[in-house]
Structure 1
């Protein structure tokens, strides 16, 4: 029997200057930056809202804004530009808590509903054409490696979206892979484990903080309790070092504590449909065991209940582009700076594998991310933004967080505009020129 793949619905066509694929922090920043320059910009997003891992994955925090230090100097902000603009807009809605201690640095907890609304408002005000519930399924190529847009799926039918420049902000380098351009997955295919993050309601937060302190990384005494409870066989608690955050909502904790591996012990790779599905099942199972442990053993959680989990499991690492530059593992803790640095970060390396995530700190300093980390080695009319940047395994364990993704989108939005207006290939653009534009936008890269 002959089988043909058919969709008999009419194909709609959209022509745009810049197409952004993915509405996470990087995609939102890139789209708004580009449209403010007067270009026609289209953003497609598979969910009915923006936010990516911060919202769908419920990561719940804006990490990467503040310096780390051995000394208690309070929060020292190091990242500005679009990241600061979004943070201020979210805070004005009441959707962002003040800085809270996270080990040697600080982070800020957000309300995922208000994150969505803040993005909606900023995108609409700027004039970005947003298409929700839309997924790129094929890349349009002019010749062998010149990207001309994508074919996308929507409930209306197929969409042919033609663009002069495309920005892959999918998080998974989907467009890069569709185009057959150089990419890699983790450390020779090994990735960091996903996590199912959840929210716990009806917590006596005052009693909880009094018992365990204000550092959101729980103290060794809690890790010891988890180890003992797990060894007793009454709970399935594969991760002992956990992070619990008070939120903008009363009587609530944001819980980053699960460690999701496969039945065969592997770190699951969510690029694989079987692994992604297994991660969702296993993540929700672990949520129930951790919540039960909290009720049984943690002060203030005696009457708590799970009031939300991520729309999907939180993904830390999948496919990344091979860029004209690559952020190295050694660049992070060395605080390395680059002439074409277009983003800065003070965030530590957070490697998630085993029962205890490993955290390595960069103290009283920042490192920079060069522009070439977002420019594919081959291919035309394509840039990437977000956690699919070109970076080594440990480096991406620092570089993937929210504040930096805002910064990447800010930079790559400007790069796409230059490419369109000046008819330049992205690899012909000088990172120094982008740095100047970003500083004019308040990024303070030379502060």
Structure 2
């Protein structure tokens, strides 16, 4: 007996100038920018809130705003545009700390609930049509490789969404892959491991800060304690260099400390359902192990308890688009600038493999990311935004953070506007023109 796939529910037909898949930082920025330019915009998001890795993955910080330097220089903000606007809106709602020390630079810790509400408000004010709890399952192709929109799953039934321009802000280049367009995964398939970030309540923050100071990267003494705990056989803590942040909430730490690999030792790739599942289970196990260690070993944490974790593991790297341009590893540390640079970053390369993550700093400078990193080499009417940009393995370890994703979305929202209004193919848009538009819109790219 033949088995036939079936969904007899009615198909809802929707249409917009711009369709955005994914409501992370880049998706929100792109949607708001295009809508403010007068376009009709639909934003499709699989969760019931926006935020992507920052909220669902509980990364918890807005990284990439401030220059890095040696010494005791105060925070110097070097990234503006939509990133600065969103940060200001978060702060106005009480959802963001002042800058906190992060090694040679600074970051800001956000409240994930306030992040959601801030995104809701900005999207509504711009007139974006947001569809939560919906997932793109098929891409609509017109004439081979021209993207016409997507078919999406929702509780109501299938959605047939058509748009002049589609922006893949899924983080995983899902639309690119569904269309069969060129893409790649990490370093010949090897990706940075996922992590389970969690929040610890019941902390005596004053006692903790008195012991460890203002730097959120814990000192070598903590790494040594972790090593001793592992050697005793009473704990299994795979990562020794860890990040602990105070938050907007009293008596709380945000903990970035797990290192999730497979039982076979592989770096797990969340594109694969078995790896994703294993990562979630192992992440929760490590979360409890680190929390138990903190309560026993760290000042101020004797009465601490886990009060929240990511909705899912935080994902650093999966599938990326093969773009017209590709950000190279060497571009980061050389502070390279591009004539068509549409975003800038001061953030270091962070490689989280091994028990001690490696951080390579770019001091007193920024590098730029060219427009071509977001334009697929093939396929029409399609742009990408966010961490699925075209970049080498180490480069994406810097370029994927929140402030830069806001910047990518800001730029690609303007690119979509030019494409729709002028009838241009995304590859025909000159990144230098886009740079001028962004500077008029407050990006301060120089």
* Range of TM-score over shorter length: over 0.9
Does structure 1 residue 121 correspond to structure 2 residue 121? Answer: yes
Does structure 1 residue 155 correspond to structure 2 residue 151? Answer: no
Aligned mates of 1:13, 1:429 — CA distance in 2: 30
Aligned mates of 1:274, 1:3 — CA distance in 2: 25
2:265 matched to which residue of 1? 265
User: In the TM superposition, what is the alpha-carbon distance from 1:144 to its structure 2 partner?
Assistant: 1.0
Q: How does 1:160-171 map to 2 (within 5 A)?
A: 160-171=160-171
User: In the TM superposition, what is the alpha-carbon distance from 1:281 to its structure 2 partner?
Assistant: 0.2
User: In the TM superposition, what is the alpha-carbon distance from 1:213 to its structure 2 partner?
Assistant: 1.1
2:406 matched to which residue of 1? 406
User: In the TM superposition, what is the alpha-carbon distance from 1:352 to its structure 2 partner?
Assistant: 1.1
Aligned mates of 2:159, 2:364 — CA distance in 1: 48
Aligned mates of 1:363, 1:26 — CA distance in 2: 25
Instruction: Give 5+ residue unaligned stretches, structure 1.
Output: none
SS in 1 for 2:106: strand
2:421 matched to which residue of 1? 421
Aligned mates of 1:143, 1:187 — CA distance in 2: 33
User: In the TM superposition, what is the alpha-carbon distance from 1:46 to its structure 2 partner?
Assistant: 0.1
Question: Which whole-Å deviations, capped at 9, do the CAs of 1:300-331 have from their partners, x for residues lacking one?
Answer: 00000000000000000000000000000000
SS in 2 for 1:75: coil
Question: Which whole-Å deviations, capped at 9, do the CAs of 1:147-188 have from their partners, x for residues lacking one?
Answer: 000000000000000000000000000000000000000000
| Runs of 4+ residues over 2 Å off in structure 1 | none
2:85 matched to which residue of 1? 85
Aligned mates of 1:414, 1:233 — CA distance in 2: 55
Question: Which whole-Å deviations, capped at 9, do the CAs of 1:274-295 have from their partners, x for residues lacking one?
Answer: 0000000000000000000000
Aligned length: 446
Does structure 1 residue 353 correspond to structure 2 residue 373? Answer: no
1:318 matched to which residue of 2? 318
SS in 1 for 2:238: coil
Does structure 1 residue 444 correspond to structure 2 residue 439? Answer: no
User: In the TM superposition, what is the alpha-carbon distance from 1:231 to its structure 2 partner?
Assistant: 1.8
SS in 2 for 1:316: coil
1:145 matched to which residue of 2? 145
1:371 matched to which residue of 2? 371
SS in 1 for 2:210: helix
1:393 matched to which residue of 2? 393
1:381 matched to which residue of 2? 381
2:335 matched to which residue of 1? 335
Does structure 1 residue 208 correspond to structure 2 residue 208? Answer: yes
Point out the more displaced range, 393-402 or 230-239: 230-239
Aligned mates of 2:71, 2:217 — CA distance in 1: 17
Question: Which whole-Å deviations, capped at 9, do the CAs of 1:60-111 have from their partners, x for residues lacking one?
Answer: 0000000000121110000000000000000000000000000000000000
Point out the more displaced range, 289-298 or 226-235: 226-235
Aligned mates of 2:295, 2:312 — CA distance in 1: 24
Aligned mates of 1:78, 1:183 — CA distance in 2: 31
User: In the TM superposition, what is the alpha-carbon distance from 1:236 to its structure 2 partner?
Assistant: 1.4
Aligned mates of 2:74, 2:175 — CA distance in 1: 41
SS in 2 for 1:88: helix
2:186 matched to which residue of 1? 186
1:230 matched to which residue of 2? 230
Instruction: Give 5+ residue unaligned stretches, structure 2.
Output: none
Question: Which whole-Å deviations, capped at 9, do the CAs of 1:22-54 have from their partners, x for residues lacking one?
Answer: 000000000000000001000000000000000
Aligned mates of 2:10, 2:212 — CA distance in 1: 59
2:16 matched to which residue of 1? 16
Aligned mates of 2:230, 2:376 — CA distance in 1: 45
Aligned mates of 2:198, 2:233 — CA distance in 1: 23
Aligned mates of 1:230, 1:254 — CA distance in 2: 22
Aligned mates of 1:150, 1:71 — CA distance in 2: 51
Aligned mates of 1:48, 1:313 — CA distance in 2: 17
1:284 matched to which residue of 2? 284
Aligned mates of 2:218, 2:74 — CA distance in 1: 19
Point out the more displaced range, 305-314 or 225-234: 225-234
1:55 matched to which residue of 2? 55
Aligned mates of 1:13, 1:354 — CA distance in 2: 48
Aligned mates of 2:369, 2:146 — CA distance in 1: 25
Q: What RMSD, in angstroms, separates the aligned Cα atoms of the two structures?
A: 0.4
Aligned mates of 1:232, 1:392 — CA distance in 2: 39
Question: Which whole-Å deviations, capped at 9, do the CAs of 1:402-438 have from their partners, x for residues lacking one?
Answer: 0000000000000001001111100000001110010
